[in-house]
Amino acid sequence: MKIFIETNNIILREMLVSDIDGIFELHSDPEVHKYLGNNIISSTSEALEIINMVRQQYVDNGIGRWTVIDKKNGNFVGWAGLKLVKELTNNHINYYDFGYRLLRKYWGNGIGTECAFESIKYGFNVLNLSEIFAAAHEDNTASNKILIKCGLKLIEVFDVVGVRQNWYRIASQEWHKL
């Protein structure tokens, strides 16, 4: 198992098949998916598909979302990190996107902000990326606050199948001035 980031509170490590129960709990919760199109899963086989997709991203792109572990007790918290997006999104393609999803019981504890900050730092300091993007549903107050708190700038609002999304960006030189 490869650990990418370890802080006082969390561990960000590669996603493993053993995360299947946590991934199922996360992706079957309608509240977690409230601003994500409500595409919940209903089986552990679907959870395994998510894990395999992420693990294939590691192979194909050298990066993919990581499992978030609560360092105090070793429990699954969710996933977070960078992903190389190869599909056209808001007139962008082949860009690095920060994203995260946390189990509801971990909301409001600063973990999302910590994951965002550490992932962006990794992107600029380890991967030497020139810029990182993120999108959040315009009504998702918590996610929008996290992205702004970590230095991303709202650069525009765009539409995805009738849903307005805020589009954020931070460049390496901006990050290094923070």
- Domains within the chain, CATH numbers bracketed: 3-175 (3.40.630.30)
The string of pLDDT tens digits covering residues 66-90 is 999 999 999 999 999 999 999 988 8
Over residues 130-142, mean pLDDT = 96
Note the pLDDT of residue 39: 85
Distance CA 119, CA 173 (A): 16
Amino acid 36: pLDDT: 87
- DSSP letter, residue 103: -
Whether the per-residue pLDDT at 38 is higher than 80: the answer is no
- Using alpha carbons only, give the angle 165, 168, 173 rounded to the nearest 5 degrees: 175
Mean pLDDT value across residues 1-28: 96
As a whole-number percent, the residues of the chain with pLDDT over 70 amount to 100
pTM assigned to the model: 0.96
Through-space distance between the first and last CA atoms of the chain, rounded to whole angstroms = 32
pLDDT in tens, 84-114: 999 988 889 999 999 999 999 999 999 999 9
Burial classification of residue 132, based on how many CB atoms lie within 10 Å of its CB (0-12 exposed, 13-18 middle, 19 or more buried) = buried
d(CA 174, CA 171): 5
Residue 163 is predicted with a pLDDT of: 85
